[in-house]
Amino acid sequence: MILIKNRQKIEDFLVEWMTENKVPGMSVAIVKADEIIYNKGFGARDLKQNHPATPNTLYGIASCTKSFTSLGIMKLVERNILELDDSVSKYLPLNWNNDITIHSLLTNSSGMPSLGVSEILINRSIEMDEIGIPLADLGDFYNHLNNAKDEIISKPGKNFAYLNSGWSLLGLIIENVSEKSYPEFINDEILEPLEMERSTFEYDENKEDIMKPYFTDEEGTEQTAYPKRGIMGYPTGGLWSSVNELANYLIMNMNDGEFKGKQFIDKSLLQKMHTGQISRDVGEYGYGWAIKEFEGKKFVCHRGSIGVGGGFLGFVDDVGVALGANTIPSSSSVFEEVAKRIIKTIKGEDGSELTYFKRNERMDMLTGTYKSYRDIKEIEIEKEFGLLKLTVKEQLEGTKSMLIPESKTIDDFRFYYLDQNGEKILVSFKVKEDEDIELLFDRWKLYKTQ
């Protein structure tokens, strides 16, 4: 099997990536066709006890939950209990616009911008940045949404705008028409049939083989509480699962709705979920899935972040990857790049040439201290928020500027920043064959010293 040949490359990469990004624990499962061909945990799911991460470790997979909510809706569509074009106000006391439909919510195209419900609840749960907005029960939730009806920025179905509250509404629709709680419905209709027996919406830190959540920043890694959000958060990003069980979910999705010889859902309905329904800046969005292009092929995926943990699900052709981690190193988009690199490595290709890794390698090479002729001028180049920051280290002329690359891959080593007049100021690096680096900035020529 081709994976066995490249197994060590995958593991070496993951260990190096976790170390660089201060990720305490992570688990990975890889699916090919209809079987799990690789699964492994790396690092610690619990730093204090130094308990290892395993393929069965439960992670909060955050927004990867949205595809489960979408699948729950499609189960009800399959039974003719509701229709995608139904108005949301038919089922819920929502006073926005009667044109907002179930389809609008499934595609994040309601026309409503983010209303901050998830941010309020997450920050409150981990005791950060409390802003005092009443949001404790469904009454508060509907008040918050209905008072925002003037915030709508476009007609439904016209523009993509990621709306967590829309997924909460979809969960409430599931509850209203199924007469079951959202967790109970998803468990009965999805988790149990797909043999996802440990997957749950209830976080219990004492449960066997479950991650401890960690917040990671430049100062280090710190254990924190895990956000509990109830029905407002369950459909949006409340599922806990392991990569082993998520692999079952991928197998069903990758095989036209079939799982272990049984048709789990109608093939045409699943294809709608996997088909781009609305365009956005980075590809398209289906029903609870992002639809992108990777190496010229259709890449169906979704990432999730809740600040102190997250996950990723994605597949292209007959290869799928499930990831879970107990921190978010910078952005959950990084998990997508890790998955892409795994897929390329499985195929025997060089994943290090992917734009994300190539770009970061280039930026790491450029960071350091630069000094001019006779050390008259000193400049520090640092990496911050995925960009380079230039700092002039001088009392009379101390400035800090974020450098914008002129090209996506940074291969030409040319950057710019805008001065106070809005003028574009060029900053360029010259990398020599002996790996010495020169910096041209304003009227200065500087040399990397360390």
Distance set, CA 229 to CA 62, 88, 363, 417 (Å)? 11, 22, 38, 41
Q: Average pLDDT, stretch 395-402?
A: 76
Separation between Cα atoms, residue 258 and residue 264, nearest integer Å: 6
For residues 351 and 340, the answer to whether their CB atoms sit within 8 Å is: yes
> What tens digit of pLDDT does each residue of 124-178 get?
666 666 676 777 788 888 888 888 888 888 999 999 999 999 999 999 999 999 9
Measure the CA angle with vertex 253, ends 111 and 263; round to 5°: 115
> What tens digit of pLDDT does each residue of 217-274 get?
777 788 988 877 777 889 999 999 999 999 999 999 999 999 999 999 999 999 999 9
Distance set, CA 50 to CA 16, 56, 120, 203, 234 (Å)? 19, 16, 32, 20, 29
Q: pLDDT: is 104 or 442 the higher one?
A: 104
For residues 414 and 367, the answer to whether their CB atoms sit within 8 Å is: no
3-state secondary structure of 212: coil
Helix (H) or strand (E) holding 43: strand 35-46
Long-range contacts of 390-393 (CB under 8 A, 24+ apart): 390/417, 390/427, 390/441
Q: pLDDT: is 280 or 118 the higher one?
A: 280
Q: Average pLDDT, stretch 421-450?
A: 90
| Candidate ranges 89-103, 253-267, 343-357, 406-420; pick with highest mean pLDDT | 253-267
3-state secondary structure of 410: coil
Helix (H) or strand (E) holding 183: helix 182-186
Among all chains, which residue has been given the structure tokens 């907002």? 100
Separation between Cα atoms, residue 340 and residue 343, nearest integer Å: 5
3-state secondary structure of 33: coil
Helices (H), 28-116: 66-78, 102-106
Domains and CATH numbers, the chain: 2-353 (3.40.710.10), 360-448 (2.40.128.210)
Tokens matching residue 120: 């309020």
Q: What is the DSSP letter of 65?
A: G
* Residues above pLDDT 70, as percent of the chain: 95
* Whether residue 84 has pLDDT greater than 90: yes
> What tens digit of pLDDT does each residue of 88-116 get?
999 999 988 778 999 999 999 999 988 87
Tell me, what's the pLDDT at 5?
66
Task: Tell me how crowded residue 430 is: count the other CB atoms within 10 A of its CB.
Answer: 11
Contacts for 447 with CB less than 8 Å, ≥ 6 apart: 370, 371, 372, 436, 437, 438, 439
- Sorting pLDDT into bands at 50, 70 and 90, what band is 283? very high
Q: pLDDT: is 298 or 118 the higher one?
A: 298
* Residues above pLDDT 90, as percent of the chain: 68
